Amino acid sequence: MAPKRDKDRRIISCLQCFRPQEMLPNHLLRVCMKNQTNEERNAEVERAKKSMKDWTLRGRTWDYNAMVKRYPDEASRQALLEDLRERHFLIINDPMAAQAESSHRPPGAAVETHNKMPAQPTLQDCQRVLRVSKADMLIIHRKLLDQQHVEEDQRTLFRYFCEAILVLRYFQGPEAVRALKDSDWINKRNVDGRIHMEVQSTKQSAKFSLTEEDSAMLDAYFQKIRPGCLQDSQDDQGRFFLSKQGLPVGNVTSDIRRLHEQYDLPSFSSQQARRAQITMACSSSDDPADERRVRKQKRGRGPADQDDRDFGAFLLQFPATASSTPPTKKKRTAAGFPPDKMFYNRWRSVQLAKREELLLSQCSRRPPSVSKVSLLIQKEGWTGNCPRPEDVVAKWRPVTRVQVESDPWIITTIQNQKWTGLALKDFGTKGQGVVATKAFAMGSIVCDYHGKVITGAEGRKLVESIKGDMAYLFFFHAAGRDLCVDAETFPCECHPTENTMGRRINHSSKRANLRPVHCVMNFPEGQRDVILFQAKRDIHICEELLFDYGVKRKSFRGEAINLDWLDE
């Protein structure tokens, strides 16, 4: 048998095609320089060798101090560092490296892998669980987006994964992750493809930039899992990560440990991850192929490339509206998407949901019958991908005034102002506004318009004294009476520490998704007039809540807003 050749012995990258070549002269002869002379090819080999030597001497080494200056954003710098380490670059001047070297492992020593805890874990060790579990998480992610059923334990595991992303990849402390608020997420900004987060909720505000992929994972948790945890009877404190009982998660470290246990991996603390983050990468025996093998053994299949494809880009290319036609195979492939039906099917689910929403918005006052929905479908002229009329009827959720007036939860929530599913968002020139962090079905009560209700002539006089601007003072006609809600003083006297959300809702006459309605509620101290906001149509997560102030900026003279109940 011929001796085994050391394939990697003299790998040199071709400077024509930028691909590493085992036999560069042969490659140039056959591929990149087949029409040139021997002399030209020899010169090219010399040029490539020199480039390789230069790179080995200088290009492979990065100076951490220079990186700090050039990449002041820590999260981006760490992402770059991680990438460089994975590619076996050398990083000098890492302030923690000297410490690490003197304490434990000599440079170049192999990291213990498998189930034993390495004495001094590298960043790769700490983040392994993210890589190993990724294929599973992408499957859950896809199911969530497709509105498919996801088991309770899988939902919880997905939450652990999201927590682990923030701790192990973005080096947030477990307490900061626990304290993360839904409004922190709502107020994130996309800048050049990185999702900037500013965590206001911790004592020290933290800033970091997520990749789009990580952001998509957290958003799937936020939009598809968290709303199912929200319970009216529980105070979620506006936290981002909630237990399935709807309470803020108790212990992020334990959650991440459970994720590690699930994948039979040693667990690392956030401090270890932070330390590893700034420790110089020692050359490691970690082969990314190991992870792929573990994954394959565990799931009995290879990493699904399909999972990595970006359905968001697909939707951008082919917007799924109630009336759009599905992209044909030819169009899908021409746009660079896979020819199979995976994205196509997902696209149809998105459209189906939009169509249901459209039908429901046409039946706002009373529950539609199956035949009415069938008629509406016919009118739309949809031939395929039609919602089942029965499903549409089943999704209609009205609430009656009588139900609301005696609803103990609504009464308590008006008193404590702990409405669920609402978060504040900065809307720039409009100031703050309120967005939904859970879906509200048409007809549901979203919150109250909190403030002292002043009736009769006194109220009208108050309102008329305000000229020329939208005000924090509104006037309503209800049950044959005039009601004025004084919400000018902010925060209100009765809730000096609460964010009375109803008062933060901005105005829109065209895009209003809320209507104010009037109730007389039975409070322990007696009956009281209350103005509630009812969803005019289904409201989606992240949508801004808006109601028609009934005023025009310049012409406001205290016009009254009618308080028609949705089901009357």
Ligand X SMILES: C[S@@+](CC[C@H](N)C(=O)[O-])C[C@H]1O[C@@H](n2cnc3c(N)ncnc32)[C@H](O)[C@@H]1O
List contacts with ligand X (CB under 6 A). 430-433, 470-472, 503-504, 506-508
Give dist(CA 284, CA 361) in Å, integer.
58
- Indicate the residue among 319 and 468 with the shorter CB distance to ligand X: 468
- Indicate the residue among 217 and 561 with the shorter CB distance to ligand X: 561
Burial label for 524, CB within 10 Å (0-12, 13-18, 19+), is: exposed
Q: N- to C-terminal Cα distance for the chain?
A: 90
- Indicate the residue among 106 and 431 with the shorter CB distance to ligand X: 431
- Indicate the residue among 47 and 557 with the shorter CB distance to ligand X: 557
Asked whether the beta carbons of 560 and 476 are under 8 A apart, the reply is yes
Task: Give the torsion through C-alpha atoms of 62, 64, 69, 72, to 10 deg.
Answer: 110
- Name every residue whose Cβ is closer than 8 Å to that of residue 227 and which is 6 or more positions away in sequence: 421, 437, 438, 439, 541
The minimum distance between CB 531 and ligand X, in angstroms, equals 13
Asked whether the beta carbons of 375 and 389 are under 8 A apart, the reply is no
Beta-strand pair 561-562/473-478: parallel
The minimum distance between CB 426 and ligand X, in angstroms, equals 8
- Indicate the residue among 120 and 500 with the shorter CB distance to ligand X: 500
The minimum distance between CB 175 and ligand X, in angstroms, equals 29
- Indicate the residue among 64 and 472 with the shorter CB distance to ligand X: 472
The minimum distance between CB 546 and ligand X, in angstroms, equals 8
- Indicate the residue among 409 and 490 with the shorter CB distance to ligand X: 490
- Name every residue whose Cβ is closer than 8 Å to that of residue 244 and which is 6 or more positions away in sequence: 152, 155, 156, 229
Q: Is the dihedral of CA 518, 522, 523, 526 positive or negative?
A: positive
Q: Is the dihedral of CA 499, 502, 506, 512 positive or negative?
A: positive
Name the residue number minimizing CB distance to ligand X. Answer: 431
The minimum distance between CB 440 and ligand X, in angstroms, equals 19
The minimum distance between CB 381 and ligand X, in angstroms, equals 35
For residue 242, the 8-state DSSP code is B
Cross-strand pairs, 290: none
Identify residue 52 by its one-letter amino acid code: M
The minimum distance between CB 549 and ligand X, in angstroms, equals 7
- Indicate the residue among 318 and 549 with the shorter CB distance to ligand X: 549
- Indicate the residue among 396 and 449 with the shorter CB distance to ligand X: 449
Give dist(CA 77, CA 509) in Å, integer.
46
Give dist(CA 126, CA 286) in Å, integer.
12
- Indicate the residue among 216 and 470 with the shorter CB distance to ligand X: 470
The neighbour count for residue 230, using CB atoms within 10 Å, is 15
Give dist(CA 224, CA 202) in Å, integer.
25
The minimum distance between CB 435 and ligand X, in angstroms, equals 12
The minimum distance between CB 203 and ligand X, in angstroms, equals 24
Is the peptide bond prior to 367 cis by the omega test (within 30 degrees of 0)? Answer: no
Q: Is the dihedral of CA 466, 467, 472, 477 positive or negative?
A: positive
- Indicate the residue among 308 and 426 with the shorter CB distance to ligand X: 426
The string of DSSP codes covering 96-144 is: THHHHHHHSPPTTPPPP-TTSPPSS--HHHHHHHHHHHHHHHHHHHHHH
- Indicate the residue among 133 and 183 with the shorter CB distance to ligand X: 183
Asked whether the beta carbons of 246 and 255 are under 8 A apart, the reply is no
The minimum distance between CB 378 and ligand X, in angstroms, equals 37
The minimum distance between CB 503 and ligand X, in angstroms, equals 5
The minimum distance between CB 433 and ligand X, in angstroms, equals 6
Give dist(CA 547, CA 531) in Å, integer.
13
Task: Give the torsion through C-alpha atoms of 533, 537, 543, 546, to 10 deg.
Answer: -40
- Indicate the residue among 68 and 494 with the shorter CB distance to ligand X: 494
The minimum distance between CB 469 and ligand X, in angstroms, equals 6
Give dist(CA 521, CA 414) in Å, integer.
10
Look at residue 198 and give its three-state secondary structure: strand
